[in-house]
Amino acid sequence: MVFHFISTKELRKAIPKTWSHELIKLYAKLDAPDLATLSKQIDRWLVDRPRDPNLWLAASQLAKRDELWTQAKQFLERSIDNKESALAYNELGLILLALGQEDEAIKAFNKALDLNKNQ
């Protein structure tokens, strides 16, 4: 999929129309205006879509970028509760490593590998 240049404002309008995983993922990678503003928007979307694993994953990625490791972990766990994915378990493993929880990180990485095998 090819994306033309899209502003933060356009992206905020497009996401609720499609709830596209790709657009949500792109939103979590934005640099502007700031992480807090991006996180607040994700929080607002989660009020209406609390079972959307892609929104929880994006919330986790923003928290991780802000080095809010415990919050990032909690958001990933919510994402996984709604839909298991290798990507979410891999992200969880990285966060657990950052938190010094190596045994738990290994379990998360192994779960990601198992899910990849079964796809």
Burial label, 11 (beta-carbon count in 10 A; 0-12, 13-18, 19+): middle
Domains of the chain, residue spans: 9-117
Percent of the chain's residues with pLDDT above 70: 92
Mean pLDDT over the full length of the chain: 91
**Structural domain 9-117, CATH architecture:** Alpha Horseshoe (1.25)
pLDDT, tens digit (0-9, with 9 covering 90-100), for 99-117: 999 999 999 999 999 999 8
- Looking at the predicted structure, is the pLDDT value of residue 1 above 70? no
Which tens digits make up the pLDDT trace of 68-101?
Answer: 999 999 999 999 999 999 999 999 999 999 999 9
Question: In 85-110, which positions are buried (b, 16+ CB within 10 angstroms) versus exposed (e)?
Answer: bbbbbbbbbbbbbeeeeeebbeebbe
**What pLDDT does 2 receive?**
41
What pLDDT was estimated at residue 107?
97
Q: What is the pLDDT of residue 32?
A: 67
Tell me the pLDDT band of 3, cut-offs 50, 70 and 90. Answer: very low
Tell whether the torsion through CA atoms of 7, 29, 89 and 40 is positive or negative.
Answer: negative
Residue 6 above 80 pLDDT?
no
